[in-house]
Structure 1
Amino acid sequence: MELRQLRYFLAVVDEANFTRAADRLHVAQPGVSAQIRHLERELGHALLDRSGRTVTLTEVGAAVLPYARAAVAAASATRDAADAVAGLARGHVGIGSVPSAALDLVELLADFHARYPDIEMTMTELSSEALLTEVRTGRLDLAFVGLAGDSPSGIACRVIREEALVAVVAHTDPLAEKPTVSLRELAARPLITLPRGTGIRSALDASFAETGLPAHIAFEASDPQVAARLAHRGLGTAILPASEVSQDDAGELIRTVAITPRVSARLALVWRAHGPLSPAAGALRALVTVRA
């Protein structure tokens, strides 16, 4: 088994097409096909299903995928470690994040770049559920996600912040004058919340499930500020962390009301539980730990 074969395999998986993978690798398409066939013969199993319009993973291929990514990453990390000893802080780190006002990701990445200017960084924003999948499969090294319960399977994490969710209503809403609102009261109202797959939504759904009360989700908004604006216009009660509510709006157009019993969500930095981080990703994780 050669690293070249694993790299070709990963390229075909990422592109879902042999020709595009060959273009990305700057090699001839027959060479990519031949190397992957050699890999499949060596493993004794087909890794790719070539029967459709796009190339997909077989069951064995899906099982092999994270190990292939880890092997290629480890080879790259070996070079990075040697360079680091020689004073050459190079490498690459892929990071993902949910949109969050509780995390100043721009300042974090700028600080990291100032310390390690030769490390290449790439960043993507997705839902927490999608980010966890990207970390598990090795597409991302690190990700900031929202968590509602225990650390997910195969994932290690460091909690950056835990925050109670609040009900956000228009300043003219009768609820605006109350210090707290119960889940039973919220169950009788149209709610505005983030989509499924986010930590905030998971925390809300879990709380309603524990009480046996149904939640009437009237609107889903991926942007917390949009959810707050919908609440301001009287279209429902938004459920958000207080930090996601614009301070310009709070006290002017909307009110935040504490929820009882407490409903909270956590913002956490996550990475794969198995296998070492690359030196570049380890350096970024260490910086997050210092700044947290």
Structure 2
Amino acid sequence: EQREGELHILTVLALSHEVVPRALAAFHARHPDVQVTIDALHSPQIVSALALQEADLGFVFTAPAHPSLVQETLAQGRMACVAPRGMLAAPLVRSGAVRLADLVHTPVVRLPGNDPLGAMLNLACREADVGLTAAFTVQTYHAALALAHHGLGVALVDACTAASADRSRVDVLALEPCMPVPVKVLRMANRPASLLADAMARCMQDAVVQTLAPTGLA
């Protein structure tokens, strides 16, 4: 059970770089005496831990339905393209958007097929009949972003990850057609509502909106 003054949250790694710290700053300003524990895990691990009542909240992009958990969409992001400066044609960069077909002859940093966003991209490629050149396959979105920063390929990542991009080294474009990437909160269905958990969820909601607003990728 949650003890007064403590909160245990789980998050996918992609949200732990920009969004969670912003949310924690707002939460801590309002609840300075609350001890918060944060674990960064993969979505299936978050679902399992919450189902076992090992944490209070989980923040994910997508997760399978579970009878013990309820899901709430906090905000809507989308997939983005982060390209090393000079790798994409200038008119394409100026347009602010790129299609999968535009990347056919460009080295791409791919996400694994068992990753929710990686699976979504694979499906989009099949539907568009587009074959991308996977220069590298990485396990995390920020690893993909790091390779783009070093000029090794184009990273196809969520907008929250793209918000961390160094615009002096890379160009950030919307991926078209739009591939929605919701940010969701998971919690136990049969646990009484916690004021602290509710407050943290709202702080996360605000943090996602604040993170995405400057990117133009909301």
* Count of matched residue pairs: 195
Counterpart for residue 140 of structure 1: 55
Aligned to 2:47, the other structure's residue is in SS state helix
Who is 2:40 aligned against?
A: 125
Secondary structure, counterpart of 1:110 in structure 2: helix
1:207 matches 2:207? no
Alpha-carbon distance, 1:202 to partner: 4.4
SS in 2 for 1:174: coil
Q: CA deviation at 1:157?
A: 1.7
Task: Give the AA of the match of 2:66.
Answer: S
Higher normalized strand content (fraction of residues) = 2
Residue 157, structure 1, aligned to residue 71, structure 2: yes
Say if 1:168 and 1:142 are closer, same or farther in 2 by CA, change over 3 A: same
Task: Choose 160-169 or 236-245, whichever is displaced more.
Answer: 236-245
1:287 and 2:204 matched:
no
TM-score calculated relative to the size of structure 2: 0.71
| Greater helix share, structure number | 1
Which amino acid in structure 2 is aligned with residue 110 of structure 1? H
Inter-partner Cα distance in structure 2 for 1:239 and 1:206: 14
The answer for the alignment partner of 2:144 in structure 1 is 227
CA separation of 1:130 and 1:177: change in aligned 2, threshold 3 A: farther
Alpha-carbon distance, 1:247 to partner: 6.2
Per the TM alignment, residue 193 of structure 1 is displaced from its structure 2 partner at its CA by: 4.3
User: Could you tell me which amino acid in structure 2 is paired with residue 153 of structure 1?
Assistant: H
TM-score between the two structures when normalised by the length of structure 1:
0.56
Structure 1 segments unaligned to the other structure (5+ residues): 1-72, 81-89
Following superposition, the deviation at residue 198 of structure 1 comes to 5.0
Q: Spell out, residue by residue over 1:189-240, the C-alpha distance to the aligned partner (whole angstroms, 9 max, x if none).
A: 442245566554344344335446555542215252x422312333221012
Structure 2 unaligned residues grouped into runs of 5+:
206-218
Deviation larger for 136-145 or 213-222: 213-222
- In 1, distance between residues paired with 2:162 and 2:8? 29
The CA distance in 2 between the partners of 1:233 and 1:136, in whole Å, is 40
Query: Bigger relative contact order, structure 1 or 2, given CA contacts below 8 A and separation 6+?
Result: 2
C-alpha contact 1:146 1:198 (8 A) present in aligned 2: no
CA distance in 2, matches of 1:112, 1:199: 34
Instruction: Give 1:183 deviation, angstroms.
Output: 2.3
| 1:61-210 paired onto structure 2 within 5 Å | 73=1, 90=4, 92-99=6-13, 100=15, 101-103=18-20, 104-111=22-29, 113-114=31-32, 117=33, 120-147=35-62, 152-154=65-67, 155-175=69-89, 177-178=91-92, 179=95, 180-186=97-103, 189-194=106-111, 199-210=116-127
